[in-house]
Amino acid sequence: MAEDQPPLVGIIMGSQSDWDTMRHAADILEELGVAHETRIVSAHRTPDRLYDYARSAKSRGLKVVIGGAGGAAHLPGMTAALTPLPVLGVPVQSKALSGQDSLLSIAQMPGGVPVGTLAIGKAGAKNAGLLAAAILAAFDEALAERLDAWRTAQTDAVAEEPQ
Ligand code: RP5
């Protein structure tokens, strides 16, 4: 369904090595039928690609950008500096510091340039997908109903007693 539509959410990540984490954002958007694209865009290794991506994101029809990076994780912040779109940041769990470095790099933005920072790792990527969907759902009743159904199914799946 969503594959035929122009992407509304851009999922970008600093490296191929981030995909294991960031695919959880893509999976949720897929499940909810939200058209999205995925790209490797590194703030440090491909700065021109970052500039082009962020500068053109809005005019290409994207509504939300999810950026995931680890270590000196400047990707979400630099993206937020270059686009007026809402940017959600996912701190990828780094080897050296378990993602504490990523978290602080993404969360500690200067006032005036916001990045909506999620949790470290898989939970953060999943929640970034859900949050992007919730932002879009404010203007899309059909998506709001799918998101409600997803949340109800999650609630119903919680057993009262451990097995
Ligand atoms: C960051 O450096 C990426 O976001 C990644 O999390 C981290 C390590 O990248 P690789 O050395 O695995 O490519 O830019």
pLDDT of residue 160: 97
Mean pLDDT, residues 116-138 taken together: 98
Q: Is 7 in the pocket of ligand 1 (CB under 6 A)?
A: no
- pTM for this prediction: 0.97
Q: Is 69 in the pocket of ligand 1 (CB under 6 A)?
A: yes
pLDDT of residue 1: 55
> Ligand 1 centroid to 110 CA: how many Å?
23
Conformation bin of residue 121: beta by default, left when phi > 0, alpha when psi is -120 to 50: left
Answer yes or no: are the C-beta atoms of 116 and 84 closer than 8 Å: no
Q: In CATH, what number does 12-154 get?
A: 3.40.50.1970
ipTM over 0.95: yes
